[in-house]
Amino acid sequence: MPAILPAAPREISHWFDTEVRPHEPALRAYLRGRFPSLSDPDDVVQETYIRLIRARESDRIRSPKSFLFVTARNVAVDVFRRRSACPTEQLANVEEFPVLETEQTYSDGESHEQRLRLLEEAIQSLPERCRQVIVLKKIEGLSYDEIAVRLGISHNTISAHLTAGVMKCRDFLQARGVLKGKSP
- Which pTM does this prediction carry? 0.44
pLDDT score, position 8: 63
The CATH number linked to 98 is 1.10.10.10
pLDDT score, position 83: 67
pLDDT score, position 5: 47
**Residues 6 or more apart in contact with residue 80 via CB below 8 angstroms:** 35
In a domain, 171, yes or no: yes
In a domain, 4, yes or no: no
pLDDT score, position 84: 60
The parent domain of residue 26 ranges over 9-85
pLDDT score, position 62: 85
Number of independent structural domains in the chain: 2
In a domain, 64, yes or no: yes
The verdict on 120 and 104 lying in the same domain is yes
pLDDT score, position 37: 81
The verdict on 39 and 111 lying in the same domain is no
pLDDT in tens, the chain (184 residues): 444 445 567 788 888 889 999 999 999 999 988 888 887 788 888 888 888 888 887 777 888 999 999 999 988 888 877 766 544 444 444 444 444 444 444 444 557 678 778 888 989 999 999 999 988 888 888 888 889 889 999 888 888 888 888 888 888 888 888 777 654 4
The verdict on 24 and 72 lying in the same domain is yes
pLDDT score, position 7: 58
pLDDT score, position 32: 87
In a domain, 41, yes or no: yes
In a domain, 102, yes or no: yes
The verdict on 94 and 108 lying in the same domain is yes
Cβ count near 52 (within 10 Å) = 20
pLDDT score, position 166: 87
The verdict on 61 and 108 lying in the same domain is no
pLDDT score, position 25: 93
The verdict on 44 and 66 lying in the same domain is yes
CA of 149: how far to CAs of 41, 76, 131, 136, in Å?
Answer: 22, 27, 16, 12
CA of 174: how far to CAs of 95, 105, 129, 169, in Å?
Answer: 16, 23, 23, 8
In a domain, 130, yes or no: yes
The verdict on 122 and 156 lying in the same domain is yes
**Residues 6 or more apart in contact with residue 106 via CB below 8 angstroms:** none
In a domain, 2, yes or no: no
